[in-house]
Amino acid sequence: MEFFDKAETKRVIETYINQNKFDDELFSKFSSTINHGDTSTLNEQDITKYAIKLIFTFMIKEAKEFDKYCTINIANNYDKFLVYLETASTVTDNQLLEFAFRYLYEFYLSCGYEFAHEYNDIISYIVKHSESLSKDHNSDFSYVIKMMPIYITKKLLNHEVIQKVSNVDSQVSHVDLVKEKIDNFEQTWDKNLEIRETKINALEAKLKNYEQGFNFVALYDGFKSLADTKNTELSKANFSVNLWIVVCSFLPVIGALSYYFTKDIYVNIPLASMLLLSIMFYRVAIINHKSIKSQILQLDLRKTLCQFIQDYAEYSEELKSKNAHTLQKFEDMIFSGLVANEEQLPKYFDGVDQISKLVQALKK
């Protein structure tokens, strides 16, 4: 609680000091005499005024510290203290000194450091002469000296830190309860984790099946794309075969008509050459046609196998550990190249030799 550091409080204290002038030389004399412990030559009333001024000056100088360490008296007596200051003419110096001493004594007992010697001397003087200073029935220094340590001790014992220390047993019980809750939560968490792990494993297995299925689908699509290309080539091969059949059919007819009208066999020599070449190209076209059909058949077989075989990688690893040749035919079929039987394809110049021999025979 802020009290001494307020501008209003400082104003009231300074007003009192200014209204009660104290000779600086005499003030210095009192300070020196009290410091040496000899107060027999001093007037008690002057000592009281000296103590009041010294404490009030200290309050203004260390206002924040007084607010920090004088919480008991600020809470209980701050309003009465201000009234005493504002109506100083109606109260005795001993009453005013008692109130000032309350704050100084609480400050002295509560802070963790030593006062300057002049303040210690004032406290020592008041403690020593408390009985004589309390002769005024409106002030009781002995009560302040005896009770202030009790109030401060009570305040410290009721501090939240001390309360926490005194409630160690309840705190331990609370910790045990929290630990029990944590253990229960951990068990629940483990159970939930096992359930989630089971679900995750099931999902993983499904995803694995989906992945394998997609892998075979991708392989099937690859074969399908090749099959589409081969079907296009087959259509062209069909056209080529049909074309050469027509050519080979019409050339003899044309040769016969030419000989019928011209009666010259040499006219048919070019037609004979064209016929031989056409037959050769027809053979090439028909073999190419058969080769494409064979490749399409192989691609269709591979597409069928892709639809039939599942979990190939898993099966192959398991089966190969028992019999290394179990899936050999399947692998040879799936991963081998397309076979185009080219052994019987005719060479392009095979028919040229026959034509040259025919021409030489005709010339003879």
Domain ranges of the chain: 7-166, 212-363
Residue 139 CB-half CA count within 13 A:
24
How far apart, in whole angstroms, are the C-alpha atoms of residue 341 and residue 152? 113
Pure H helices in the chain: 7-19, 24-35, 44-61, 63-69, 71-86, 93-110, 117-128, 130-133, 141-157, 160-166, 168-262, 268-308, 312-322, 328-335, 350-363
* Residue 244 pLDDT > 60: yes
The model's confidence at residue 350, banded by pLDDT at 50, 70 and 90, is very low
What percentage of residues in the chain have a pLDDT greater than 90? Answer: 5
- The whole-number average pLDDT for the span 29-58 is 72
The pLDDT tens digits of the residues spanning 327-345 come to 566 666 666 655 555 454 4
Task: Taking the CA atoms of 185, 189, 195 and 199 in sequence, report the sign of the dihedral they define.
Answer: positive
Angle at 357 between CA 353 and CA 361, to 5 degrees: 170
| Average per-residue pLDDT for the chain | 75
**pLDDT (0 to 100) of residue 61:** 92
Joined tokens for residue 313: 């990688």
Q: How many CB atoms lie within 10 A of CB 206?
A: 10
Q: Are 114 and 120 in contact (CB under 8 A)?
A: yes
* Residue 259 pLDDT > 60: yes
Q: Report pTM.
A: 0.44
The model's confidence at residue 236, banded by pLDDT at 50, 70 and 90, is confident
* Residue 41 pLDDT > 60: no
* Residue 212 pLDDT > 80: no
- The whole-number average pLDDT for the span 220-247 is 84
The model's confidence at residue 363, banded by pLDDT at 50, 70 and 90, is very low
